[in-house]
Each structure stands twice: as structure tokens, then as C-alpha cells.
Structure 1
């Protein structure tokens, strides 16, 4: 018989150290030299990103290519992107070229060799002044072509970008002039790809104030025999159309994902010898679903051309599946398997496609799929620490009705712990998880951070509010000039719907989020009376400050679309900022901030907390050395989770099970 324990006080072995006990979500899968390559964050090693090599045979063999403290992570746009490329080396084993986080230089390394990694790029005068991402192998395997971001001055917007060629012989490490500049035609650049015959180069470009999910262009130029890139032309994209990935299918044919009809679909365009379109582009699979997503990190890959002419695609609405598209017929067949979410990273080798997939009861793992038999293959390169299934939530995807009847998509994770039961008639507390972005999406997958709460009797609902990805451009555009309104209304509406359905205690509702989700959390506390407390992580709190220099270059004009033209709508910026409505915040909150955050710097959090002092509202402010935008270190994650649980316990009136430190609140 189950022990009867109040919600929130349920004992659970899923403690905060358990949440950080497994490696993070793998990424950037490659196949080379009969091996799989990928990266994965390691919270227990200071949050560094490790480069891993495993077997394509599907067994458990794997090795960490670079030991600590090597950290394979790019800081381009601060969010980074694909940080490495494997280079064939003529029978002596492959080499890898990678971006090292500490100094952002490119390094060359042969796994198994006695020599340490050797720098390929110069040490800049300004720390991390040169940053590199999306490396590809250049002509004759003598150069690496990639995107370089150069920070030229003290302001966060003192930035230029180029596609450059870095010699593999290391000659540019001491001579910056050895790095050849290939392309500088747009302020932002992504997805450099050489055609199979080496005669043309394609890339994606855009400029302020657009974001890469608003308006981008697919550009193509010829490559001369001397390696010089010629004048480019636009092949696809433009105003209100966003190309997010492009790959060469043939020497004269490009495949690309774009949304001229409001949905990111896969297209084909044929080019002449000058790199200009021959005829109109063709939509290869016209569907009201997404074959792409928001280009927050560079190098995302939603499709992979296969050797037989078909294309492996990650696609869907709300969730993503792996399918195989016959480009001749338009037939799309999904690969069978129990995974419910595939990430935007794919690599192909013969009849097998490799990616990263998850489900509600299985975390993200490197996964293989047979694209002939259309079956997912077992591929678990590392045994995971078992978590008792009886402690994991059984989530459901729901669509709620919001203001004016608009649809709101969400994932509901009810409390679940088969070893305890709540008192008869007691409704559980619920926490609204708000994703960042805001142009992003929270997938419904295995997440021990969610289970940390649900196994204790606290429900979680992840809201993909209007403005989220996965539902077409019209849904994304709901936030146009409405950030701080639509997102707040949608989160409050979902919480209220759970109450109306008899699933949640109306007196014990909380909200939490980081980055843009931290903004929505703070705004919900200031402008609604639905929530009894909130956890605000590395947030935006002052829109005017963020628009006028308190963030990095990539998002420095994001608010032009989310709020309105600056300074013409300056009053709107002031009216929506939680920092200007402190008298309306009447419930406890916890504010968490990384001290090395360049996206949402601590200055806004510090002003906010200083202004809240003495107002009689219980709150706490915790800062973390060595953390940037989002928390990566084991110690930080443990402290943050335990502080969050303590806030809920003090606000909702329960005693948490286990050794959870009591958060010290001040007024």
C-alpha cells in the first residue's frame, strides 16, 4: 500500500545531483573513418563540452577524444554552433579541427597521437576576439573554410563576420594574414557549403533587424581555380522568407529548407555555371508542417541527402519525426521506432542515418536508423544510469484555448510517484515552465529536471505559447510587437485551464523560466495575479536597456519585431518592462544569474534586485561564477534546483523530503 504524503513532500531518489549525473544532450553528429563523432556536455567536469568518438556498429565502444579541460564549443553569436569537422588524412587516421572555448581559436588534433592539439588560427589581441564555427573541409583538404566572427571594439555590437579559409598547415597561427577572407556580403552568415565539384559555394546570409527565422537569403557564388570566391547572387529567400539550411544534391542542384508559404518545407533549385537559378524552385513535399526550425545555433541540420537520391528529413508539428523523402514522387515515409523527438543533427553513411533522438521515457541519445528497412536501430553508445520508471511522469500533449479563442500548445506532466499517494481530495501544485527564445519550442521528452518536481508531487506544464516554433510562421508571428502580452496571457491561460479542469490547486501555481522565459516569468508576476511565486533565471527585465546596448550583437535588434521600432515605440518598451512595475510584484521570487552572461548581463538583475529591496516582498538573488547564459556546471545546477524547490516549499506550505537546504529569503 502506498504511503500517504502531501503533494510536494513526496520522497524521491531523483535528487538534484541525480539530475546532473548523466551527460547532457549529445549534438553535432558526424560519420568519418568508420566512426561516429559527436559532442556532449559534461556537468561534472565544469560543464565542458567533450568530443566523443564511438563505433558505427551500435555497441558500447566509445572514447573521449580530448581530455579535460579541452572544451569543444564555439561562442559565435554567443550561442555557438557546430564546433568541429573531421578531416581525412590519407590512411594515417583522421584529424579533427575544433574550436576551443577558452580562447576560441581553431585547433588541429589527431586522436591517438602523442602530440597535443596545435593551433591553426592566431591569438587575437582582444580575448576571444576571433571566433569560429561551422568548419568544412576546403579544396584539396589544405584549408578549413568556416565562419569567423571578429570582435573589433569594446561594444557588444563591434562585430564583423566573414567566411574565411584557414590553412591546415598551421601557418596562420602566428600570422593573421594567412587567413584568407572569402565572403563578407552580409552581417550574419551561416551554412557554408562547397558544391560536389568544388566550383561553387553556397551560404545563408541576413542583416539587422531581421532574425534568421524572419528573413534570410540563400546566396551562391563561383569558386575560381585560385580559391577566390566570385560575386554572389541570391537563389532563394528574402523579406518574410527564412532559408534555414541548404545542401548540395548535385553539382548544379541545391536542396534547401524555406518558408515562402508559411511552413518550413524542403525545396530544390537548379543552377547554371554562374550559380544563378534555372527556372523556379520546386517544393518537394508541400505540407503544413515544419521541415526546419529557428536557427539559434549555426550548423543545424534538419535534412541529409542520401546516396540513393532520397533525403532523410526531421519533420513534424509540435514534435519531430525522422522520415525518408522520395524527391521524385514526393512520398514521405517515417522511420519506425519509439522515439518521439529528433534533434536537428543528421549524418549519413550508406543505408544508415545517425542522429540524436528522445522520447518521453528515454533521454536524448545518439541513434541510428536503417533508411532501407525504415527501422530505428538500437544504438546506445553509453549505458545510462537507470531511473525507476515508477518515478517518471506520463506526459500528454494538449491544446488549450486562450484569449480570443487562440490555440495554445502545451505538454502536461502530472505528478507521479508510484510509491506514495496524496491525501484524498488534495490538488497538486503546478509549475509553468516557460521556454527561452522566445522563438523556440519545448519538446515533450524525458527530462530529469521535470521529474525532479513531478516525483515529489509537483505538476509541470511546458507552454509553447504563441510565438513558439513548430506550428508555422503565423503562430510564430503572434509575438510580433506583442512580446510580454501574448506569452504572458498564454501561460496564465494554461495555468487557469488546469485549475478549471480540476487538475491543479489554484492557490499553488508557480511560473519559472530562463532568458526570454525569465522575461515572461517576471512579466507574469507583474501583470497577472495567477501565480503565487516565480523563479526568474538569467532574464531580460528592462527592454530599453536591452535595446540600447545591454546585450550581444546577434539579438541587439530582436526587439524591433517583438516590441516595435526603437525609439518610435520607446513608451511601449517602458510600459512592458517588469523593472518599471516593481510595485505590482506582490509574490515571492527567486532570481538566478550567471556572472559571465553576455546575452543577459548581470547588470539588469542587479538593478532589479536593488530596486526590490525594502519593499516587503520575500525574494532571493543567487549568482554563479563561471556561468554564462544557461547553467552548465554540476554545482550550479544542484544549487539552483534545490533553491527552487525550497522557494516552492516555503510558498506552498510543505516540507520537502531529503536534505534540501532552506533558501534564505529577504524582504
Structure 2
């Protein structure tokens, strides 16, 4: 076998088999894994089907089915980021599945094994509401004995984004509440702004859940609440076991033997604790400077699962989480064997089987099963298949750079890579900024990254101060420093790559969406590091996005109180840090991408920024997409965005992007 000749070509012009359509078609990952008997179910992205989330069923023989055709879209809008949108059980001798349909947010039930088509057709369980955002549901579980589905109900009481209440509620499975809101049984009074759904103890006498209130976010402080369950199924007087303004309890579950387990960061790391349900005494089962949980962005996320044999399946680590089995008696963790380096916060278990979603830098997200009896791991669903020659995929490197004051800055670096082409000298690089900002970039196969690296453009994902995965102190670096620490850390990575000769200082770009869009815009208006930038569905005006501005949804409406500071005390800080008020500082081309249905970062933020930039002679493009909300999901949208971004880099970095429409810039 002969080695192909390697030629030289300018960065950005390398021929690649990874086109925008290929990258977009593989965007997203499986989510919300669960089991019903021996079957495994999950939701999966379908970019080519209008961006819907399909419900996938894995039969015991390994066959994958999609029982709900388009346009059924299994996705919740509770707190806008959603939560577990389906649940199932054997009810009256046959399988019954309940799910949230995104279009109307109603709960529906269907029996996938019904003998006739009419029996398999979903039927509504909850009513519509004409008030504000209506009725929404998440964090579902089916109680077959009571004939109910338990969930968090989000109910709008007015037209404003914060005119809403959230409470645990039970919906009858017989459909009697489909047109009757009064038939929905509220399990407790609405005592907190935010709650997760109750978790019943094995004997059914007690329930626990998490609760928090503005201005806290769930990674700042939550409370683990407990109450007795009365004969009528209602929750009695609740009390707090652990948690508070400076303690984040991310998950709580009952073990089969009645032990209460909770992941809390009271030690500075989210560690797993055994909590006494009477006294609240918490014992750390595995004291480590590692995370055993993460930021609760979606209701129902699970980083651990108690197992029947007394062990606990856990996701743990610094940075990327891995799957392990924790022995609560010894505190020892035995990690699952396999190539996966990143596990998503969705764990299910049945018998001696643990099921999750895992990926690596060379493989996409797969449904993976661990047999705890044998220690064997295997892929059981959504198996990775190479869609392109792996030689065109980037080699990922986990790096730690030095930021201001000598602080550590974590990043993933993806140098340009193409089996047949080499570049001359330092390469152009794009700094990718993750959203959140209390989140992190995962080092997993991403064909959008490969779309650029295979053409000769390097990518560096920055887990700047404030990111999760590195302990509470690292997370708290961003308190009142948003727009400062994140911008500095991204700049430190860019400058570090330049200093070591990898990146060309004249061909640096920055890109990010949502909170990453904020950081990108703040960097473009406040520094001279970058030659251009791509800004997706961003926050650009802090005052408008604050609790006083009313330009975002309820969940994050007071997020800035910790990220920037109390708006009523430091209004000038909100003004001064906002890119919309620093438009004079931007002098390089930029691309702005926005969904017109986005209620988290609405188009008005972009429009205000563009008005401030107008007449300053800065080349830019603004592309909007009807039907897209926060985070793009449709194939055609993502193709347009990728090609436009590459075209921007071609214009600025001085190369022609073959096969890509030219991006028209205005000034």
C-alpha cells in the first residue's frame, strides 16, 4: 500500500469530503434515555425532519424503531430548556408511553403495541391554555398504581415571560384532564419559583425534590426538600434537609433499600452523599476533588443511578465525566471499560444493566450499556459509523493555558488536519466559546469542527473561568465578572497558540452562541485580538436582558444578578459591559445569526446592536431564520450558517472557499 502524496496548499482551501450538509445532518445527540421493562427508549435529533426530536425504541432483539412519525416532536419547553419529556410503564397489561409534544406542549399518551392504528394514535392528557405560554410539562414519571403521570407543571398566569408558576402535579392517564384543567391534581402548594418533580421513596410514604428561587440559579444554591405522602397522594408539609444559597444540590434519588442519596457541592465539588431523611445529616460517600454532577440546565438530568445490588452508577471526573460504579460502603469507584471519554447526564438502569449516552473525540454519541454483573460494556443503539474517512477528523488535545494572574484556563485544541494537505507556517484559528455560561465544551466528535479543521482552519474550544467540571471555585470565577474573565481567558488561549507558533496572530477569529455569542461580541468590541467573528443568537444588551428589562425568559431573568452584579446597585456596569454600548470598539467584520422565534435571546438584541454599528463602516452580515428558536435545529439553517461562516473567514483570511456561496457584507 502506497502512502498518498502530500501537497502544500493555503490554509482554508484544503479539499474536504465534509460538506456543510454532512456536518449539519449529524448535529445533536441522543438524550433522555430510559427503560421500560427490558426495552430502552430515548429521544434523537432529526435535523432533516424540521429539527424535531424523535422518540426511539430499542427492542430486546436490538431493533430500533421510531413509533411516532413526523411531525410528532418529543420536547418540553419548561424553563425553555426543557427536561425529561417522556415516561413509560406497563399499565393494564400493556405498554403505555406518555410524552410532551413540542408544538402545543400538551401531554399525550399512546400504546405502541396496540393491535390497531387507532389504538396506537397519541391521545391528549392535558388541556391547552390560552394564557401566556400556556401549560407545559417536564420531568415525567408514570405511576401505574395510581393511574397518573407525575411531572413539573409550568403554568402561565399572564402574558409576561415571568408571569408563571411551577408546581408538582399529577395528570390522570384516563384522559379526563384533556379538556379540564381542574382534573389536574396539584401535589403541593407552589412554594418555590422552581422545582423538580418528586421522587417517591420505595415504600411510597415520602417524596423528595429540589427547589430554588430567584435570583439563584440551580448551580448557585438549591434546597433538598422532603415531605410525607398522604393517603390522597398529596404531599404534606415540606422541610429542607440540605442545601441553601451557597450549596447546590444537583440531584437526589432513593436507593432500593430506602437510602436517600444526593449530589451536593458543599465540599467545593459535586460529590455523592448519603442524607439522613430525618436529621439531614449528610455523609460524603466518595470524597474527591471531582464532579459527580453538573449544572441543572434541564429538569430530570441524572448523573447517578442507585442499583438493586447496593452499588451506584455514577458519572464522575474533572472536565469530561466517565461512567463508574461506586461502592457506598468502601467509597471505591470502578470505572467502566471502553473508549468513551464523555458521558451525558442521562443514566437509566434496569436490573444489572446501566444505560447511558457516551462519546469520544473520535466517535459520536452512542447508547451504551454496562452489564454490572460481568463488567462488559457495549453499544446497543445509535451506533457510531464513520460518515467520512477518519483521516479528515481532527486530533483533539486537552490543554491548560495560563491566563491573567497565572490562573489556569482549560481548552480543547483541534489543529488543522487533512491526510493529503499540509499548510505553511502558523494556521488560522477560531476560538469557540460555549454557551451557558455555566456549562462546558465537551471534547467529542463534532463534524462542525471537522468542517473547518479539514479545510485548514484550527479550532480551540475554551472552558473559561465559570465553566463546569472543575469545581465550584473555578465556576465562581465568573461571579460579577462576566464579560471580563471569559473574554480574558479566550484571549489567553488565542495568545498562547500564537506564542507557540501554532496560530497566525493576523488570522484569529472568535465564535459562539447564546452566552458564547455574548463573549464573542464583548471580545470583538473590547479587544483587538481577532480579525473577525461569528455571533449566534447572542446577548448584547445586559440592561435589556436583566430582571428590569424583560427581554428574556423567567428561568434566566435574574441570572445576571450573579454574573454581573445586582442591577439596581450597579446599573452603570450593565451599561458599560454591553457590546451594544461599545459599538465604537468594533472595527472588524462580523457575522450575526439569529432565530426569529427565540424568546431566550430575542432578535431585538441583535437589532439594537446593528443600529449602534450602522454608519461606522464595519463590514457585517445579519442572517435571520424564521421558525428557529434558541439553538438551530433545522438542516437547511445549519447548512446556511456553516457556509456563511466559512465564507466570512475566506473574505477576511484571504482565501476562496470553494463550493460555498459568497457572503455579502454590508457596512
Return the TM-score normalized by structure 2. Answer: 0.97
Q: Does 1:166 align with 2:167?
A: no
- Is the 1:139–1:198 Cα contact (8 Å) retained in structure 2? no
C-alpha RMSD of matched pairs (Å): 1.3
Q: Does 1:661 align with 2:666?
A: no
- Is the 2:365–2:384 Cα contact (8 Å) retained in structure 1? no
- Is the 1:72–1:98 Cα contact (8 Å) retained in structure 2? yes
- Is the 1:22–1:385 Cα contact (8 Å) retained in structure 2? no
Displacement of 1:284 in angstroms is: 0.4
Name the count of aligned residue pairs.
656
Displacement of 1:607 in angstroms is: 1.2
Q: Does 1:46 align with 2:50?
A: yes
Query: Secondary structure, in 3 states, of the residue corresponding to 1:631?
Result: coil
Query: How many angstroms apart in 2 are the aligned matches of 1:185 and 1:625?
Result: 38
2:199 aligned to 193, 216, 222, which one? 193
Query: How many angstroms apart in 2 are the aligned matches of 1:270 and 1:581?
Result: 52
Q: Give the 5 Å matches for 1:308-457.
A: 308-382=309-383, 384=385, 386-423=387-424, 426-457=425-456
- Is the 2:58–2:381 Cα contact (8 Å) retained in structure 1? no
2:138 aligned to 133, 136, 146, which one? 133
Query: Secondary structure, in 3 states, of the residue corresponding to 1:379?
Result: strand
Query: Secondary structure, in 3 states, of the residue corresponding to 2:398?
Result: strand
Query: How many angstroms apart in 2 are the aligned matches of 1:536 and 1:244?
Result: 31
Query: How many angstroms apart in 2 are the aligned matches of 1:161 and 1:434?
Result: 32
Counterpart for residue 482 of structure 1: 481
1:149 aligned to 154, 168, 187, which one? 154
Q: What are the Cα deviations for residues 519-551 of structure 1, in whole angstroms up to 9, with x where unaligned?
A: 000000011111000001000000001002110
Query: Secondary structure, in 3 states, of the residue corresponding to 2:638?
Result: helix
Query: Secondary structure, in 3 states, of the residue corresponding to 2:450?
Result: helix
Displacement of 1:83 in angstroms is: 0.2
CA gap of 1:592–1:265, structure 2 versus 1, over 3 A, is same
Query: Structure 1 residues 62-71 or 602-611, which shifts more?
Result: 602-611
Q: What are the Cα deviations for residues 13-34 of structure 1, in whole angstroms up to 9, with x where unaligned?
A: 1010001223630011111132
- Is the 1:197–1:251 Cα contact (8 Å) retained in structure 2? no
Q: What are the Cα deviations for residues 595-647 of structure 1, in whole angstroms up to 9, with x where unaligned?
A: 00010000010111122122100000000000010000000000000000000
Query: How many angstroms apart in 2 are the aligned matches of 1:263 and 1:191?
Result: 24
Query: How many angstroms apart in 2 are the aligned matches of 1:160 and 1:561?
Result: 23
Displacement of 1:112 in angstroms is: 3.8
Counterpart for residue 268 of structure 2: 262
Displacement of 1:252 in angstroms is: 4.2
Displacement of 1:56 in angstroms is: 4.5
Q: What are the Cα deviations for residues 308-362 of structure 1, in whole angstroms up to 9, with x where unaligned?
A: 0000000100111100000111111101111011110111122221100000100
Counterpart for residue 523 of structure 1: 522
Query: Secondary structure, in 3 states, of the residue corresponding to 1:20?
Result: helix
Query: Structure 1 residues 181-190 or 505-514, which shifts more?
Result: 181-190
- Is the 2:256–2:308 Cα contact (8 Å) retained in structure 1? no
Q: Does 1:25 align with 2:29?
A: yes
Query: Structure 1 residues 179-188 or 370-379, which shifts more?
Result: 370-379
Query: Structure 1 residues 249-258 or 564-573, which shifts more?
Result: 249-258
Q: Give the 5 Å matches for 1:84-163.
A: 84-92=86-94, 94-113=95-114, 114-115=117-118, 116-126=121-131, 128-138=133-143, 140-163=145-168
Stretches of 4+ aligned residues off by more than 6 angstroms = none
Q: Give the 5 Å matches for 1:136-285.
A: 136-138=141-143, 140-183=145-188, 184-250=190-256, 252-271=258-277, 276-277=278-279, 280-285=281-286
* Structure 1 spans left out of the alignment, 5+ residues: none
Return the TM-score normalized by structure 1. Answer: 0.97
CA gap of 1:270–1:412, structure 2 versus 1, over 3 A, is same
* Structure 2 spans left out of the alignment, 5+ residues: none
Query: Secondary structure, in 3 states, of the residue corresponding to 1:505?
Result: strand
Query: Structure 1 residues 133-142 or 635-644, which shifts more?
Result: 133-142
Query: How many angstroms apart in 2 are the aligned matches of 1:33 and 1:222?
Result: 28
CA gap of 1:214–1:178, structure 2 versus 1, over 3 A, is same
Q: Does 1:75 align with 2:80?
A: no
Query: Secondary structure, in 3 states, of the residue corresponding to 2:380?
Result: coil
